[in-house]
Structure 1
């Protein structure tokens, strides 16, 4: 049987033309081969000459991440990059953008439309080169909404509570919405964890005080610019990466505290801030593999791809988790044990409307945006995916989200670009609290903790996570000693509190509306009744007793 070289898994429009010149080209496999072992460090067999085998492109930290999750070393962990083969490609006029070990392929551009394919075929002796059109990609005009930034310093009017480990300042509302303070109060601040930030330029991030201290403390382990091929990610061509990173890393008490203020970071620029092209998808793959090799635990990618300046763009029907190369890369990142957090996109109010790649991947957390009241942002990209899956997965504040501008002052902006890093930091702290969990378990607990888990929708997915509840689900935190029972409830809910002091209560529906409120006078009046007109579903019951606020999710399930 012939072995065919699939020259394009993205951009061919017809078999008979080379009008589109950007392709992925499968590389010849290293004849020394590889071994997929049930353990991470390989099978100890005396018949194998280990010195003759290529080494996996992994750091010790990357090995450890695999070992914790019982992930074997696979072929995709080895680089089969061949300098002599690359030289031959260049000799026939091909431009090489990079190499992917996950796909064992080169990202290339042909020199012209009339390129002689026979020259390429001659480089392969064990297979034939054949142009296989995966899909005809057309162009759909779909303007995207970029994050809206406000450079005006925020007045310090909204004081954050001082009863927590950190004084969050302007970050309090977005932190309290997901109960991220519950993680920090227990000492889970990202210490010992590694976050990869794949974004645009990080202009001035190495000079802003609250971020510069992360460099000083040795917690920026690596930087790389895949657009220019060097380590300078700080070029003055854009500040999107800086703003995104600040939401996680900044510690500027009492003005602002990020969601993972003690984590370590790898800063990777894959996005050309001045254009939108298919090469940026390739850069994203290369950045992901770099992060994998470094041993990154959690990825934040506040990027999305659907429409390109000149290259063929995607159709909404392509957002089914299998077409876009970045989506395939996101699935690979999950396969090697990372948690991938990706912004859902800002196309909710445009003709495109739905999530963009790689947010359509089934193995990642795609993050939507809500306002300070928990209502979906108009711009937040919706679901479902083209194959009918719920997206986004979860949501967080992406309207007027506090972050640092390039001058180091606290500003606000809109976009799923900001809700994603907010959650990525807290997910990192949550994984720190559950070090033996797999990436799948972490993502599942986050979804289960969310406000709409019982009734997900395609506006905010499973809803707004509650990290205190997630800690209880994972067994890391004992459940609140206050008791609401029975749950599910048929209409009457009994409440047991730690004291007999009078309390007030509210019943809040999934849209954030208070549908009932009243007073509890323990121990005689300890029952909450749902209104007769309340529909079956998930509600939030809030009880305020003195200075203590207790919140419980209760499922109303009338016969």
Structure 2
């Protein structure tokens, strides 16, 4: 899973201990400074570092991120020296780059509504999902199949009170902040959007969230900037668990799993998601699609097993994933009626549930395999 992080700076991301595992495996796939146009440096601000520690941090006894096994692209799109409309252009350019690089998720703990030049400010009526430049850019990214997450904003205890762009986008998952008692924070921006849609979409922990921005220390940080990566990282795990799921299905499943799904409001949105329930929703969509021309025998499996093709005119790609989403087998195959493959890939694997993904030119099918100890 590849996650693009749009932020204002990543100072010390190349040094903090909780990201050492990421650096060792070269999990930072790309970096770029869209603000200066110059060579990227791990400088400017620690805000993106805090976000990265929530997403990918892994330090025993101190910090556990929500998606430590993902790969990342770090994009500086926010000019922390002020608020300028050009930052929306930088964001759009980063989103385009993310799409070209194959990003699965864009997570953005940024919001726009007020600028150093007040004549350029957005009005609330602009937050209709179609007017703000950055919101339109986020919508285009989502239309390309990217899951786009945005912080709702920290405005409720200020004059503005409302969400900020691009949180108003109908294809953007905007995230509010709650505390450890599941109560909405005093600062978490309120919805709805200007055209009356439920916003924010969902809520996640955003008060005293453990972050690391310097060597050796973990501290608490508050803001929707930090609830956003909590949810985007967990959603990456959903995507890994059900690789055939598309972005709109992931977004729909996590909304449907919210504890306020049947009575959403303008503070919590659809509420705090239950990711086990979201996984169950996605599995019901994908993991048991019938494909009557393919048989797995035996199933449950103890050693090797056979995939039998009764009638199948297309070439296929066969892949087997562990329950955690790890690819354990891949094979290209051109079946003919009555042909079969003998698979030994699970013989020395732990018992549990595995998934066979069958990819053709026109469709993707899943079958569940149960592995037992011999």
Q: TM-score normalised to the size of structure 1?
A: 0.50
Runs of 5+ consecutive residues of structure 2 not aligned to the other structure: 286-374
Contact 1:433 1:476 in 2 (8 A): no
SS in 2 for 1:429: helix
Is 1:263 the counterpart of 2:70? The answer is yes
List aligned pairs for 1:227-306, cutoff 5 A: 227-235=35-43, 237-306=44-113
Alignment partners' CA distance in 2, 1:262 and 1:201: 22
Root-mean-square deviation over aligned CA pairs = 1.4
List aligned pairs for 1:310-389, cutoff 5 A: 310=117, 312-389=120-197
Q: What is the Cα deviation at residue 274 of structure 1?
A: 1.4
Is 1:458 the counterpart of 2:255? The answer is no
Alignment partners' CA distance in 2, 1:441 and 1:408: 39
SS in 2 for 1:204: coil
Q: TM-score normalised to the size of structure 2?
A: 0.74
Alignment partners' CA distance in 1, 2:133 and 2:161: 21
Alignment partners' CA distance in 1, 2:264 and 2:105: 24
* Alignment equivalent of 2:4, drawn from 166, 183, 196: 196
Alignment partners' CA distance in 1, 2:5 and 2:222: 19
Alignment partners' CA distance in 2, 1:277 and 1:248: 27
**Per-residue CA distance 1:461-481 (angstroms, 9 max, x = gap):** 00000111111112269xxxx
SS in 1 for 2:243: coil
List aligned pairs for 1:403-422, cutoff 5 A: 403-422=211-230
SS in 2 for 1:405: strand
Runs of 5+ consecutive residues of structure 1 not aligned to the other structure: 1-192, 478-559
Contact 1:303 1:417 in 2 (8 A): yes
List aligned pairs for 1:34-183, cutoff 5 A: none
Q: What is the Cα deviation at residue 207 of structure 1?
A: 1.1
Q: What is the Cα deviation at residue 408 of structure 1?
A: 4.0
**Per-residue CA distance 1:132-178 (angstroms, 9 max, x = gap):** xxxxxxxxxxxxxxxxxxxxxxxxxxxxxxxxxxxxxxxxxxxxxxx
**Structure number having the greater strand percentage:** 2
Contact 2:16 2:213 in 1 (8 A): no
SS in 2 for 1:395: strand
List aligned pairs for 1:202-213, cutoff 5 A: 202-213=10-21
Q: Between Structure 1 and Structure 2, how many residues are aligned? A: 285
Flag the 1:408–1:339 CA change in 2: closer, same or farther, 3 A: farther
Alignment partners' CA distance in 1, 2:26 and 2:284: 29
Contact 2:12 2:213 in 1 (8 A): no
Contact 1:233 1:268 in 2 (8 A): no
* Alignment equivalent of 1:426, drawn from 234, 237, 261: 234
Alignment partners' CA distance in 1, 2:20 and 2:45: 18
Is 1:217 the counterpart of 2:14? The answer is no
List aligned pairs for 1:513-552, cutoff 5 A: none
Q: Which runs of 4+ in 1 moved over 3 A?
A: none
Flag the 1:352–1:223 CA change in 2: closer, same or farther, 3 A: same
Is 1:307 the counterpart of 2:114? The answer is yes
Tell me the residue number matched to 1:163.
none
SS in 2 for 1:292: helix
**Per-residue CA distance 1:515-544 (angstroms, 9 max, x = gap):** xxxxxxxxxxxxxxxxxxxxxxxxxxxxxx
Tell me the residue number matched to 1:400.
208
Q: Point out the structure with max Rg over C-alpha.
A: 1
Alignment partners' CA distance in 2, 1:255 and 1:207: 16
